[in-house]
Structure 1
């Protein structure tokens, strides 16, 4: 019995030892597999990271960096190509303005305007003045850089009491682009005509090609002149300033009278104007009427009298005899 019990205890111990060994082996294998997986992943990641560095940032890095840019920039670039460029600094704008300012001293205000334009980098394009004490008027045409257009207008308005202001703009971008394209094409045509002219072999061809070259050069010069004109208008804005004295009158169409009295006044003004025109015409014709009308009237009177004179002195004819009456048989 004792021997059998000892054998059973020995077998149980062996089974437990075997189970523990198997468990330890399985645990070791699991840990070894996880460590190998982690090291493999780290090695793969390190290899992928070190490859571009070893190649000096070669095609792989360029592809990795450039692909997102190409993918992300493709659609925006197509959108920019389709949409017009609406930035104000990329467009050619022509600014023109006119204003009327009432000042106390027209000459002093004109000098201040001239100094203001000179400081802004512009010049006076025209100066017309009507000298008087209180109703003097000065018409100045200012050419100022487009970037300082608004500032100059505001400064001129501060010289006195602004009575009117009108600002106009014109977008000449498309016209300038069209002129550029036409100038390039016309220059190519001129060069082509010059090459043909240099290879002309006969007098007829020479004359024909010279005429054609002259026409093409004239067209090119016209296009270039238009471009220079547009460039001048876009670079320098034009402001027409009227400086009026304290007693100068301003014509305003905003207050228009209506009603019976307004119609009567208008009719009376029209009548007076018509009468003035009639008297003016009569005064212009009166010397001619005196010079030619009086002799013609005298001549007609003489002719009429001559026609009446033969009828008055005509001879009296003898009376016709009456035949005697016959007696009855």
Structure 2
């Protein structure tokens, strides 16, 4: 009996130990599986983070490259500058100087915009001004030739207006308006309702009007930057005496001016007297007739008095 009880205890203890061993192995296996799953998840997360970082890095590199490209493009943009010059020169022969300026402008692809001339009666000289449009690449050379061909440069000024920013802005606006125009044309082709068609047509007309305004302004700026404007004031001084200094020449200029003033004064005075006598000639004739009649009457009275006395 005791042997059977002991045998049962031993068998039960063996079964208990086997169960504990299986539970331990199962728990260890579950822990390993969980650990493996966690490691795999961590690996996937790390890989995803790496991909995100790589994508962000590529995007940043692209942005930097795009910015650098824009900077390079901005640096490569041709500057749009409107040049204007004003000259005041003194010449010996006005007509000769004017012809020379016109020929120089034509030879360089320019043209005359305006030309005015007037006579200075007081000094007996011819003065005037001329406005020329000249290609920008010939602008400086043209001014130098005009100054070189004059007797004296009285005034010279050059100014420039940079319209590059406005021109670039107009180009961007024009590009945007072209895209809108293209979309509206596409919508118009797909429109089925009359109301939609009218609305799209109105919007399209407004966009096309804005495009016309932008292109007109761009053409104006392009013309202004392609051709510079030069205004030249020409004063004639035809007094030229060799072997004299500038001070002596100025003295002779003053003598000439005073001499001309004296002649003008005499001519004006004689002209005034002539106008006075000729204009009042009927009055003088009437006064002469009256005077003659008075003299005749006086003489007759004197003769009558003389005969009475005799």
TM-score (normalizing by structure 1)? 0.47
